[in-house]
Amino acid sequence: MSTPLLFQSKILCFSLLYLFSSLFLALYFAISPTKCLFRSSPFDPIQAPLFSYPHSYGEHKYAIPTLRSSCDSPVYFSDYWMVLKEIQNFCQNSSYGSQILRYMQGTADSFGGNFSTQKRISFFNHQDDEIEIPCGFFKKFPISNSDRIAMEKCNGVVVVSANFGDHDKIRQPKVLGSKTLDIVCFFMFVDEITLKGLAYHNLISRKSKEYKIGAWRIVKISTEQLYENAAMNGVIPKFLVHRLFPNSKYSIWIDGKLQLVIDPLLLIHSLIISENVDMAMSRHPFYIHTMEEAMATARWNKWWDVDSLKTQMETYCENGLQPWTPEKLPYTTDVPDSALILRKHSVANNIFSCLMFNELEAFNPRDQLPFAYVRDLMNPKMKMNLFDVEVFEQVAIEYRHNIKNVGPTSRKGTKTKRATPGLFVNGSCSKCDRYLLKMWGESHD
């Protein structure tokens, strides 16, 4: 008997084998639960999609694929109704928000929506000396009265994002529970350029004074009196969220390039409340030392002024910054991925956010650089949940930006300012020599 004609072609045989293997793997990963997230109640009441975008807007283009499917510390989500009731009771019965408000925040009651005052906060440094510092705003952050009133009425959980320079698409959160919007507010801060893009796609009406796209309330910010760098403008709602939303008990910051795909109540309960921490964010997928992130920032031109990076790192080294070691546990890294930040608006967290903002305003908007410096030296200490990057990839989808960057400062024609010799050169007399030797394992001081 002769071999069937179908099996005489080796290329065809290999093609069929590849096809069936791919189909089997795709089916396996489609029906098997992730090893990183576990739901005790997979039948939570999920709302229908909140908004339908026009085809021309293309909000689902250019998602960045992820290859990680398991992690060392999986997250367990509790039953939706139990989580809803627990957070509702806390938000309704807690007077914590007003106490924090009197302690350090203040609102824009007398400024017509222009947040511009520099409230001062008191905290103890690592030597237990009481220190007072200003806590933004260093620039006016003008919003309308109606937006300000809506922000003050948000007294539960607030999800905050920003899109300056029309750099990202507005993407709706997915799989929200049926009662989530009763206690969760979604605010997206945009500038005039982004607003024009939304009007171009008929997502909003320019005749209206208030804008709403699905779950998101769109808040227009005039950037004329703000920073030239759009990234620095985004730092304001990212780290001063406790001042913009003085009555909120919890908040989630999500970068404009991300889409939230887990109910925010479940995230807050599992990553903040259950862990009894002030803040939660994922670890950086590659770096654990601040100097590694600084070197990458210079190498990949993430900030144009390399000489200022050198000055910043030397300032931190001179004032006590140390590389990560097991002595810093339970902090598992010095470099987080700050695209997704979950907060409990506690005293420690609000002080940390103010100190972080001041560092970013003084140097540059790369918030991973002062993270360990502020965290390690401030007192009271922060309770942090630095979860696996695999968890981050399961709770949010990351997309590429709309346009190519024209430079880290969003200004055309800006040239990289090189650093003077000293910081990253072997044999130098840099103030960070001891840090580098300890990071490389060549010193035990």
Residue 100 banded pLDDT, cuts 50, 70, 90: very low
Q: Does pLDDT of 304 surpass 80?
A: yes
pLDDT band at 74 (very low <50, low <70, confident <90, very high): confident
What confidence score (pLDDT) does residue 209 get? 82
> Could you tell me which residue, 383 or 35, shows the higher pLDDT?
383
Instruction: Give 101 or 442, the one with higher predicted confidence.
Output: 442
The pLDDT assigned to 73 comes to: 81
Q: Nearest to residue 250, comparing CAs of 100, 437, 398, 118?
A: 100
Position 399 pLDDT exceeds 70: yes
C-alpha–C-alpha distance, residues 205 and 210, integer Å: 9
Closest-CA residue to 143 (of 87, 79, 220, 54): 220
- Give exposure, 341-360, as e/b (b: 16+ Cβ within 10 Å): bbbbbbbbbbbbbbbbbbbb
Estimate the crossing angle of helix 306-318 against helix 290-299, to 10 degrees.
170
Q: Is 407 left (phi over 0), alpha (psi -120 to 50) or beta?
A: left
Percent of the chain with pLDDT over 90: 56
Picking from 32-41, 208-217, 372-381, which range would have the lowest pLDDT averaged per residue?
A: 32-41
Give the rounded percent of residues in the chain with a pLDDT score beyond 70: 83
**pTM given for the model:** 0.84
Are 100 and 242 contacting, i.e. CB atoms less than 8 angstroms apart? yes
Helix (H, G, I), strand (E, B) or coil at 74: coil
**Token reading at 336:** 């987080």
Residue 98 has pLDDT above 70, yes or no: no
Mean pLDDT of the chain: 84
CA-CA-CA-CA torsion for 23, 26, 29, 30, nearest 10 degrees? -100
Q: Looking at the predicted structure, is the pLDDT value of residue 420 above 70?
A: no
pLDDT band at 418 (very low <50, low <70, confident <90, very high): low
Does the structure show a pLDDT above 70 at 150?
yes
Determine the 3-state secondary structure of 159 from DSSP.
strand
Q: Is 136 helix (H, G, I), strand (E, B) or coil?
A: coil
185: enclosing H helix or E strand = strand 184-190
Query: Confidence band (pLDDT; 50, 70, 90) for 104?
Result: very low
pLDDT tier, 137 (very low <50, low <70, confident <90, very high otherwise): confident
Residue carrying structure tokens 């998101």: 216
The token duo for 217 is 């309330």
| Terminal alpha carbon distance of the chain | 79
Mean pLDDT score, 107-114: 42
Average pLDDT over residues 271-290: 96
Q: Give the per-residue pLDDT at 419.
A: 57
243 pLDDT exceeds 60? yes
**pLDDT (average), residues 87-106:** 60
> DSSP class of residue 272?
I
Reported as a pLDDT band with limits 50, 70 and 90, residue 97 is very low
* Of 115-119, 160-164, 422-426, the least confident: 422-426
Pick the range with the lowest mean pLDDT from 23-32, 233-242, 287-296, 372-381: 23-32
- pLDDT of residue 236 exceeding 80, the answer is yes
What are the tens digits of pLDDT across the range 253-273? 999 999 999 999 999 999 999
Q: What is the 3-state secondary structure (H, E, C) of 351-402?
A: HHHHHHHHHHHHCCCCCCCCHHHHHHHEECCCCEEEECHHHHHHHEEEECCC
Handedness of CA 140, 142, 145, 151 (dihedral sign): negative
